Structure 1
Amino acid sequence: MAYQIEIIKQSQKIFYYLLEHHELREKKAPELHKAYIEQDEVQTLVKSQADAADSHVEAYGGVIYLIPGQENNFLGYSKGQLKKELCRSNATDKDYYLVQFVILVLLLEFYDGQGSSSKTRDFILLGDLQNSVTDKLKEGAARYSEDEQAQNGMAFTAMREAYESLRSDEKRNRQKTTKEGFMFSILHFLQEQGLIDYIEQDEMIKTTRKLDHFMDWNLLNKNNFERVQRILGAEENEQD
Protein backbone atom coordinates (compact mmCIF):
# COMPACT_ATOMS: atom_id res chain seq x y z
CA MET A 1 0.00 0.00 0.00
CA ALA A 2 1.36 3.40 -1.03
CA TYR A 3 1.15 6.27 1.46
CA GLN A 4 1.15 9.98 0.75
CA ILE A 5 4.40 11.70 1.66
CA GLU A 6 2.67 13.93 4.25
CA ILE A 7 1.26 10.86 6.04
CA ILE A 8 4.74 9.31 6.16
CA LYS A 9 6.31 12.52 7.50
CA GLN A 10 3.62 12.87 10.15
CA SER A 11 4.15 9.29 11.34
CA GLN A 12 7.92 9.84 11.50
CA LYS A 13 7.45 12.99 13.60
CA ILE A 14 5.24 11.09 16.04
CA PHE A 15 7.62 8.15 16.31
CA TYR A 16 10.61 10.45 16.84
CA TYR A 17 8.66 12.30 19.53
CA LEU A 18 7.93 8.97 21.23
CA LEU A 19 11.60 7.98 21.04
CA GLU A 20 12.54 11.22 22.76
CA HIS A 21 9.77 11.42 25.37
CA HIS A 22 8.46 7.81 25.59
CA GLU A 23 4.91 9.18 25.73
CA LEU A 24 2.72 11.60 23.83
CA ARG A 25 0.14 13.69 25.68
CA GLU A 26 -2.50 15.83 23.99
CA LYS A 27 -1.69 18.92 26.08
CA LYS A 28 2.02 18.83 25.16
CA ALA A 29 1.76 17.99 21.45
CA PRO A 30 -1.89 18.41 20.37
CA GLU A 31 -1.30 18.22 16.60
CA LEU A 32 0.72 15.01 16.79
CA HIS A 33 -1.72 13.48 19.26
CA LYS A 34 -4.69 14.33 17.02
CA ALA A 35 -2.97 12.90 13.94
CA TYR A 36 -2.28 9.59 15.68
CA ILE A 37 -5.78 9.24 17.18
CA GLU A 38 -7.79 10.38 14.15
CA GLN A 39 -5.79 9.11 11.16
CA ASP A 40 -5.68 5.34 10.78
CA GLU A 41 -2.88 5.47 8.20
CA VAL A 42 -0.67 7.53 10.50
CA GLN A 43 -1.34 5.17 13.39
CA THR A 44 -0.54 2.14 11.24
CA LEU A 45 2.81 3.61 10.14
CA VAL A 46 3.78 4.63 13.68
CA LYS A 47 3.05 1.13 14.94
CA SER A 48 5.01 -0.35 12.05
CA GLN A 49 8.06 1.77 12.93
CA ALA A 50 7.72 0.73 16.56
CA ASP A 51 7.54 -2.92 15.58
CA ALA A 52 10.75 -2.54 13.54
CA ALA A 53 12.38 -1.09 16.67
CA ASP A 54 11.30 -4.09 18.82
CA SER A 55 8.66 -2.08 20.66
CA HIS A 56 4.97 -1.30 20.43
CA VAL A 57 2.72 1.72 20.77
CA GLU A 58 -0.40 1.74 22.94
CA ALA A 59 -2.85 4.48 23.96
CA TYR A 60 -4.16 4.34 27.53
CA GLY A 61 -6.36 7.00 29.10
CA GLY A 62 -5.69 9.40 26.24
CA VAL A 63 -1.89 9.09 26.52
CA ILE A 64 0.13 7.37 23.79
CA TYR A 65 3.08 5.30 25.06
CA LEU A 66 6.11 3.72 23.41
CA ILE A 67 6.71 0.41 25.19
CA PRO A 68 10.02 -1.44 24.57
CA GLY A 69 9.97 -5.18 23.93
CA GLN A 70 11.11 -7.46 26.72
CA GLU A 71 14.57 -7.97 25.20
CA ASN A 72 14.96 -4.40 23.93
CA ASN A 73 18.12 -3.10 25.62
CA PHE A 74 18.27 0.04 23.47
CA LEU A 75 14.94 1.57 24.46
CA GLY A 76 14.70 -0.36 27.72
CA TYR A 77 17.24 -1.64 30.25
CA SER A 78 19.49 -4.66 30.06
CA LYS A 79 19.94 -6.96 33.03
CA GLY A 80 23.44 -5.55 33.54
CA GLN A 81 22.20 -1.96 33.46
CA LEU A 82 19.48 -2.68 36.00
CA LYS A 83 21.98 -4.42 38.27
CA LYS A 84 24.23 -1.37 38.17
CA GLU A 85 21.31 1.00 38.71
CA LEU A 86 19.51 -0.82 41.50
CA CYS A 87 21.86 -3.25 43.22
CA ARG A 88 24.95 -2.90 45.39
CA SER A 89 28.38 -3.26 43.78
CA ASN A 90 29.44 -6.79 42.84
CA ALA A 91 25.77 -7.82 42.84
CA THR A 92 24.90 -11.41 41.96
CA ASP A 93 21.84 -12.74 40.17
CA LYS A 94 20.03 -13.25 43.48
CA ASP A 95 20.37 -9.50 44.17
CA TYR A 96 18.87 -8.79 40.75
CA TYR A 97 16.00 -11.24 41.33
CA LEU A 98 15.38 -9.63 44.71
CA VAL A 99 14.85 -6.25 42.98
CA GLN A 100 12.27 -7.84 40.69
CA PHE A 101 10.63 -9.52 43.67
CA VAL A 102 10.28 -6.22 45.57
CA ILE A 103 8.64 -4.62 42.52
CA LEU A 104 6.32 -7.62 42.16
CA VAL A 105 5.28 -7.41 45.82
CA LEU A 106 4.66 -3.68 45.39
CA LEU A 107 2.34 -4.39 42.44
CA LEU A 108 0.51 -7.08 44.38
CA GLU A 109 -0.06 -4.64 47.22
CA PHE A 110 -1.79 -2.20 44.86
CA TYR A 111 -3.54 -4.40 42.31
CA ASP A 112 -5.64 -7.56 42.37
CA GLY A 113 -6.43 -8.00 38.68
CA GLN A 114 -10.21 -7.95 39.15
CA GLY A 115 -13.06 -5.54 38.43
CA SER A 116 -13.21 -2.57 36.06
CA SER A 117 -10.04 -1.26 37.74
CA SER A 118 -7.48 -3.60 39.25
CA LYS A 119 -6.33 -1.02 41.82
CA THR A 120 -7.29 -1.78 45.43
CA ARG A 121 -5.58 0.94 47.50
CA ASP A 122 -4.39 4.54 47.17
CA PHE A 123 -1.04 4.28 48.97
CA ILE A 124 1.26 2.10 51.03
CA LEU A 125 3.82 3.14 53.63
CA LEU A 126 7.43 2.13 53.09
CA GLY A 127 7.52 0.22 56.40
CA ASP A 128 4.46 -1.82 55.39
CA LEU A 129 6.05 -2.65 52.03
CA GLN A 130 9.25 -3.77 53.76
CA ASN A 131 7.25 -5.96 56.15
CA SER A 132 5.36 -7.49 53.23
CA VAL A 133 8.61 -8.28 51.38
CA THR A 134 10.08 -9.87 54.53
CA ASP A 135 6.94 -11.92 55.20
CA LYS A 136 6.55 -13.20 51.65
CA LEU A 137 10.22 -14.20 51.42
CA LYS A 138 9.94 -16.05 54.73
CA GLU A 139 6.68 -17.76 53.79
CA GLY A 140 7.96 -18.76 50.36
CA ALA A 141 11.20 -20.24 51.71
CA ALA A 142 9.22 -22.23 54.30
CA ARG A 143 6.50 -23.35 51.88
CA TYR A 144 8.62 -24.63 49.00
CA SER A 145 11.69 -26.84 48.76
CA GLU A 146 14.53 -25.49 46.63
CA ASP A 147 13.52 -27.85 43.80
CA GLU A 148 9.95 -26.49 43.95
CA GLN A 149 11.30 -22.95 43.99
CA ALA A 150 13.25 -23.68 40.81
CA GLN A 151 10.13 -25.10 39.16
CA ASN A 152 8.05 -22.08 40.19
CA GLY A 153 10.72 -19.62 39.07
CA MET A 154 10.79 -18.01 42.54
CA ALA A 155 14.11 -18.49 44.35
CA PHE A 156 12.75 -17.51 47.77
CA THR A 157 15.69 -18.91 49.75
CA ALA A 158 18.35 -17.16 47.67
CA MET A 159 16.43 -13.88 47.62
CA ARG A 160 15.86 -14.05 51.36
CA GLU A 161 19.59 -14.56 51.92
CA ALA A 162 20.33 -11.54 49.73
CA TYR A 163 17.77 -9.39 51.58
CA GLU A 164 18.91 -10.41 55.06
CA SER A 165 22.54 -9.74 54.13
CA LEU A 166 21.60 -6.05 53.84
CA ARG A 167 22.07 -4.27 57.14
CA SER A 168 19.38 -2.07 58.70
CA ASP A 169 19.97 1.60 59.41
CA GLU A 170 17.50 3.69 61.41
CA LYS A 171 19.02 6.85 59.92
CA ARG A 172 17.69 5.86 56.49
CA ASN A 173 21.12 5.47 54.94
CA ARG A 174 20.97 5.71 51.13
CA GLN A 175 23.75 3.18 50.57
CA LYS A 176 22.57 0.11 48.66
CA THR A 177 24.21 -2.12 51.28
CA THR A 178 21.37 -1.21 53.68
CA LYS A 179 17.74 -2.35 53.43
CA GLU A 180 16.63 1.28 53.47
CA GLY A 181 19.05 2.33 50.73
CA PHE A 182 18.18 -0.72 48.64
CA MET A 183 14.46 0.06 48.85
CA PHE A 184 15.06 3.75 48.15
CA SER A 185 17.01 2.98 44.96
CA ILE A 186 14.09 0.89 43.66
CA LEU A 187 11.48 3.52 44.54
CA HIS A 188 13.61 6.32 43.08
CA PHE A 189 14.02 4.33 39.85
CA LEU A 190 10.27 3.66 39.56
CA GLN A 191 9.59 7.33 40.23
CA GLU A 192 11.99 8.36 37.47
CA GLN A 193 10.06 6.11 35.10
CA GLY A 194 6.85 7.92 36.03
CA LEU A 195 5.31 4.81 37.61
CA ILE A 196 5.06 5.86 41.27
CA ASP A 197 5.18 8.94 43.47
CA TYR A 198 7.30 8.48 46.58
CA ILE A 199 6.59 11.11 49.23
CA GLU A 200 9.82 10.77 51.16
CA GLN A 201 8.94 12.87 54.23
CA ASP A 202 5.88 10.68 54.87
CA GLU A 203 7.51 7.48 53.54
CA MET A 204 4.38 7.05 51.43
CA ILE A 205 4.20 5.34 48.04
CA LYS A 206 1.47 6.11 45.52
CA THR A 207 1.03 4.81 41.99
CA THR A 208 0.69 7.13 39.01
CA ARG A 209 -2.04 7.10 36.37
CA LYS A 210 0.57 5.75 33.96
CA LEU A 211 1.12 2.61 36.05
CA ASP A 212 -2.62 2.26 36.73
CA HIS A 213 -3.32 2.35 33.00
CA PHE A 214 -0.59 -0.18 32.25
CA MET A 215 -1.88 -2.57 34.88
CA ASP A 216 -5.50 -2.24 33.78
CA TRP A 217 -4.95 -2.49 30.04
CA ASN A 218 -1.70 -4.24 29.30
CA LEU A 219 0.49 -5.74 32.03
CA LEU A 220 -2.06 -7.58 34.13
CA ASN A 221 -2.39 -10.80 32.19
CA LYS A 222 -4.93 -12.59 34.37
CA ASN A 223 -3.40 -16.07 34.03
CA ASN A 224 0.10 -14.89 34.91
CA PHE A 225 -1.20 -12.71 37.74
CA GLU A 226 -3.16 -15.60 39.29
CA ARG A 227 -0.10 -17.84 38.99
CA VAL A 228 2.02 -15.31 40.90
CA GLN A 229 -0.71 -14.90 43.54
CA ARG A 230 -0.86 -18.65 43.98
CA ILE A 231 2.92 -19.02 44.37
CA LEU A 232 3.08 -16.17 46.89
CA GLY A 233 0.08 -17.50 48.78
CA ALA A 234 -1.86 -14.26 48.28
CA GLU A 235 -5.09 -16.04 47.37
CA GLU A 236 -4.98 -18.17 50.51
CA ASN A 237 -4.28 -15.14 52.69
CA GLU A 238 -7.34 -13.36 51.28
CA GLN A 239 -9.53 -16.33 52.20
CA ASP A 240 -8.22 -16.57 55.78
Structure 2
Amino acid sequence: MVATLDSLKNDFGRKTGKSSHRSRRGRPSLAEMANRRESSQERLVKSAIGAFAKHGFETVTTGLIAENAGMAQSMVYYHFKTKEQIWKAAIEQLMRDLGERFPLATDELKDLDPVNRLKVLVRRFVRMSALDISLSRIMIHEGTTPGPRLIWLAERFLKPGFELFDETVTEGIKSGHLKDLPVYTVTHTIISAAAMTYCLAPVVEATHGVDLGDEVAMNELADSFLTILFDGLLAKPKGEGDSS
Protein backbone atom coordinates (compact mmCIF):
# COMPACT_ATOMS: atom_id res chain seq x y z
CA MET A 1 0.00 0.00 0.00
CA VAL A 2 1.35 3.37 -0.94
CA ALA A 3 1.68 5.63 2.07
CA THR A 4 -0.15 8.85 1.86
CA LEU A 5 1.61 12.14 2.38
CA ASP A 6 -0.13 12.62 5.73
CA SER A 7 0.90 9.19 7.00
CA LEU A 8 4.50 9.85 6.00
CA LYS A 9 4.43 13.14 7.90
CA ASN A 10 2.98 11.46 10.97
CA ASP A 11 5.51 8.63 10.79
CA PHE A 12 8.34 11.17 10.52
CA GLY A 13 6.97 12.99 13.52
CA ARG A 14 6.89 9.83 15.65
CA LYS A 15 10.48 9.00 14.76
CA THR A 16 11.90 12.45 15.33
CA GLY A 17 9.64 13.57 18.16
CA LYS A 18 8.58 16.58 16.12
CA SER A 19 5.02 17.51 15.43
CA SER A 20 3.81 17.40 11.88
CA HIS A 21 2.20 20.77 12.51
CA ARG A 22 4.52 23.75 12.50
CA SER A 23 4.69 25.39 15.90
CA ARG A 24 4.02 29.06 15.80
CA ARG A 25 3.96 31.66 18.48
CA GLY A 26 0.38 32.63 19.17
CA ARG A 27 -0.85 36.16 19.60
CA PRO A 28 -1.19 37.32 23.24
CA SER A 29 -4.58 36.76 24.78
CA LEU A 30 -6.83 39.63 25.81
CA ALA A 31 -5.96 38.92 29.45
CA GLU A 32 -2.23 39.10 28.69
CA MET A 33 -2.71 42.34 26.80
CA ALA A 34 -4.71 43.75 29.72
CA ASN A 35 -1.92 42.80 32.13
CA ARG A 36 0.62 44.51 29.92
CA ARG A 37 -1.52 47.65 29.79
CA GLU A 38 -1.94 47.54 33.56
CA SER A 39 1.78 47.15 34.03
CA SER A 40 2.56 50.12 31.81
CA GLN A 41 -0.11 52.17 33.57
CA GLU A 42 1.39 51.33 36.95
CA ARG A 43 4.84 52.38 35.78
CA LEU A 44 3.51 55.66 34.45
CA VAL A 45 1.50 56.38 37.60
CA LYS A 46 4.48 55.62 39.84
CA SER A 47 6.61 57.94 37.75
CA ALA A 48 3.90 60.61 37.87
CA ILE A 49 3.65 60.49 41.68
CA GLY A 50 7.37 61.15 42.02
CA ALA A 51 7.40 63.86 39.36
CA PHE A 52 4.38 65.78 40.67
CA ALA A 53 5.65 65.56 44.26
CA LYS A 54 9.07 66.89 43.29
CA HIS A 55 8.22 69.50 40.67
CA GLY A 56 4.51 70.33 40.92
CA PHE A 57 1.84 70.05 38.24
CA GLU A 58 2.76 73.10 36.16
CA THR A 59 6.42 72.17 35.76
CA VAL A 60 5.98 68.48 35.01
CA THR A 61 5.63 67.39 31.39
CA THR A 62 4.22 64.16 30.06
CA GLY A 63 7.58 63.65 28.40
CA LEU A 64 9.29 63.69 31.81
CA ILE A 65 6.78 61.20 33.22
CA ALA A 66 7.31 58.86 30.27
CA GLU A 67 11.09 59.21 30.39
CA ASN A 68 11.23 58.38 34.10
CA ALA A 69 9.02 55.35 33.44
CA GLY A 70 11.28 54.22 30.59
CA MET A 71 8.49 54.54 28.04
CA ALA A 72 7.57 56.58 25.00
CA GLN A 73 5.61 59.79 25.57
CA SER A 74 2.82 58.49 23.35
CA MET A 75 2.04 55.87 26.01
CA VAL A 76 0.97 58.60 28.44
CA TYR A 77 -1.66 59.82 26.01
CA TYR A 78 -2.65 56.28 25.11
CA HIS A 79 -3.55 55.54 28.73
CA PHE A 80 -4.51 58.92 30.17
CA LYS A 81 -5.24 61.36 27.33
CA THR A 82 -4.26 64.48 29.35
CA LYS A 83 -1.72 65.50 31.98
CA GLU A 84 -4.53 66.30 34.42
CA GLN A 85 -5.92 62.80 33.99
CA ILE A 86 -2.63 61.16 34.92
CA TRP A 87 -2.29 63.63 37.84
CA LYS A 88 -5.65 62.43 39.19
CA ALA A 89 -4.66 58.80 38.64
CA ALA A 90 -1.44 59.45 40.57
CA ILE A 91 -3.34 61.01 43.48
CA GLU A 92 -5.84 58.13 43.56
CA GLN A 93 -3.05 55.53 43.63
CA LEU A 94 -1.15 57.45 46.29
CA MET A 95 -4.24 57.69 48.50
CA ARG A 96 -5.02 53.99 48.03
CA ASP A 97 -1.50 53.10 49.15
CA LEU A 98 -1.67 55.41 52.16
CA GLY A 99 -5.17 54.19 53.02
CA GLU A 100 -3.96 50.59 53.17
CA ARG A 101 -1.10 51.48 55.52
CA PHE A 102 -2.90 54.15 57.56
CA PRO A 103 -6.66 53.50 57.47
CA LEU A 104 -8.99 56.23 58.70
CA ALA A 105 -11.07 53.76 60.70
CA THR A 106 -10.65 54.46 64.41
CA ASP A 107 -12.91 51.84 65.98
CA GLU A 108 -10.02 50.61 68.12
CA LEU A 109 -9.69 54.14 69.57
CA LYS A 110 -13.32 54.67 70.54
CA ASP A 111 -12.71 53.78 74.20
CA LEU A 112 -9.94 56.38 74.57
CA ASP A 113 -10.66 59.86 75.87
CA PRO A 114 -10.28 62.65 73.26
CA VAL A 115 -6.79 63.66 74.41
CA ASN A 116 -5.29 60.18 74.16
CA ARG A 117 -7.13 59.57 70.90
CA LEU A 118 -5.66 62.78 69.49
CA LYS A 119 -2.19 61.71 70.62
CA VAL A 120 -2.55 58.43 68.72
CA LEU A 121 -3.71 60.29 65.60
CA VAL A 122 -0.74 62.66 65.82
CA ARG A 123 1.70 59.74 66.04
CA ARG A 124 0.04 58.05 63.07
CA PHE A 125 0.23 61.19 60.98
CA VAL A 126 3.89 61.74 61.85
CA ARG A 127 4.67 58.18 60.79
CA MET A 128 2.66 58.53 57.59
CA SER A 129 4.50 61.75 56.74
CA ALA A 130 7.84 60.09 57.46
CA LEU A 131 7.25 57.01 55.33
CA ASP A 132 5.88 58.82 52.28
CA ILE A 133 6.21 62.57 51.81
CA SER A 134 4.74 62.57 48.30
CA LEU A 135 1.27 63.63 49.45
CA SER A 136 2.64 66.41 51.65
CA ARG A 137 4.73 67.80 48.81
CA ILE A 138 1.83 67.64 46.37
CA MET A 139 -0.38 69.42 48.94
CA ILE A 140 2.20 72.20 49.24
CA HIS A 141 2.47 72.59 45.46
CA GLU A 142 -1.30 72.70 45.03
CA GLY A 143 -1.79 74.93 48.08
CA THR A 144 0.44 77.62 46.60
CA THR A 145 -1.49 77.64 43.31
CA PRO A 146 -5.12 77.08 44.38
CA GLY A 147 -7.56 76.06 41.70
CA PRO A 148 -9.82 73.21 40.52
CA ARG A 149 -7.20 70.53 41.25
CA LEU A 150 -6.90 71.59 44.89
CA ILE A 151 -10.69 71.63 45.27
CA TRP A 152 -10.90 68.13 43.76
CA LEU A 153 -8.10 66.89 46.04
CA ALA A 154 -9.67 68.41 49.15
CA GLU A 155 -13.22 67.26 48.48
CA ARG A 156 -12.29 63.74 47.48
CA PHE A 157 -9.43 62.88 49.80
CA LEU A 158 -8.26 65.51 52.29
CA LYS A 159 -11.48 66.40 54.09
CA PRO A 160 -12.12 62.93 55.59
CA GLY A 161 -8.70 62.95 57.26
CA PHE A 162 -9.02 66.55 58.42
CA GLU A 163 -12.52 65.87 59.75
CA LEU A 164 -11.15 63.02 61.86
CA PHE A 165 -8.89 65.49 63.65
CA ASP A 166 -11.70 68.09 63.79
CA GLU A 167 -14.11 65.66 65.44
CA THR A 168 -11.57 64.56 68.04
CA VAL A 169 -10.60 68.14 68.89
CA THR A 170 -14.27 69.18 69.07
CA GLU A 171 -15.04 66.31 71.43
CA GLY A 172 -12.08 67.28 73.59
CA ILE A 173 -13.29 70.87 73.82
CA LYS A 174 -16.84 69.83 74.70
CA SER A 175 -15.61 67.43 77.39
CA GLY A 176 -13.37 70.09 78.91
CA HIS A 177 -10.14 68.23 78.13
CA LEU A 178 -8.95 70.82 75.59
CA LYS A 179 -8.99 74.60 75.48
CA ASP A 180 -11.78 76.21 73.50
CA LEU A 181 -9.77 77.21 70.44
CA PRO A 182 -10.99 77.40 66.83
CA VAL A 183 -10.92 73.77 65.76
CA TYR A 184 -9.41 74.39 62.33
CA THR A 185 -6.39 76.12 63.91
CA VAL A 186 -5.59 73.05 66.00
CA THR A 187 -6.06 70.62 63.11
CA HIS A 188 -3.96 72.61 60.67
CA THR A 189 -1.23 73.29 63.22
CA ILE A 190 -0.81 69.54 63.75
CA ILE A 191 -0.97 68.59 60.08
CA SER A 192 1.18 71.47 58.84
CA ALA A 193 3.87 70.88 61.47
CA ALA A 194 4.31 67.21 60.60
CA ALA A 195 3.95 67.61 56.84
CA MET A 196 6.26 70.61 56.52
CA THR A 197 8.90 69.14 58.80
CA TYR A 198 9.22 66.05 56.62
CA CYS A 199 9.16 68.07 53.43
CA LEU A 200 12.18 69.88 54.86
CA ALA A 201 13.85 66.69 56.10
CA PRO A 202 16.97 67.34 53.96
CA VAL A 203 17.34 70.72 55.70
CA VAL A 204 17.12 69.03 59.11
CA GLU A 205 19.82 66.57 58.10
CA ALA A 206 22.03 69.31 56.63
CA THR A 207 21.75 71.57 59.69
CA HIS A 208 21.53 69.04 62.52
CA GLY A 209 22.78 65.78 61.03
CA VAL A 210 19.53 63.99 61.87
CA ASP A 211 17.85 61.60 59.45
CA LEU A 212 14.13 62.02 60.13
CA GLY A 213 13.43 58.73 58.38
CA ASP A 214 15.25 56.90 61.16
CA GLU A 215 12.94 55.10 63.59
CA VAL A 216 14.50 56.79 66.63
CA ALA A 217 14.21 60.26 65.09
CA MET A 218 10.64 59.52 64.03
CA ASN A 219 9.67 58.75 67.62
CA GLU A 220 11.62 61.74 68.96
CA LEU A 221 9.77 64.04 66.60
CA ALA A 222 6.38 62.59 67.55
CA ASP A 223 7.24 62.92 71.25
CA SER A 224 8.28 66.55 70.76
CA PHE A 225 5.09 67.36 68.85
CA LEU A 226 2.99 65.88 71.63
CA THR A 227 4.96 67.62 74.38
CA ILE A 228 4.73 71.03 72.71
CA LEU A 229 1.09 70.53 71.81
CA PHE A 230 -0.14 69.31 75.18
CA ASP A 231 2.40 70.61 77.72
CA GLY A 232 4.07 73.57 76.02
CA LEU A 233 7.76 74.44 75.93
CA LEU A 234 8.08 76.07 79.34
CA ALA A 235 9.80 73.86 81.87
CA LYS A 236 8.07 73.41 85.21
CA PRO A 237 9.73 75.06 88.22
CA LYS A 238 11.82 72.72 90.32
CA GLY A 239 9.78 70.84 92.86
CA GLU A 240 6.53 71.28 90.97
CA GLY A 241 4.88 67.92 90.43
CA ASP A 242 3.15 66.65 87.35
CA SER A 243 -0.33 68.12 87.35
CA SER A 244 -1.72 65.61 84.85
Question: Rg: which structure is higher?
Answer: 2
- Structure with more relative contact order (C-alpha pairs < 8 Å, separation 6 or more): 2
Question: Going by fraction, where is strand more abundant, 1 or 2?
Answer: 1
Give the alignment's TM-score, normalised by structure 1.
Answer: 0.28
Give the alignment's TM-score, normalised by structure 2.
Answer: 0.28
Question: Going by fraction, where is helix more abundant, 1 or 2?
Answer: 2
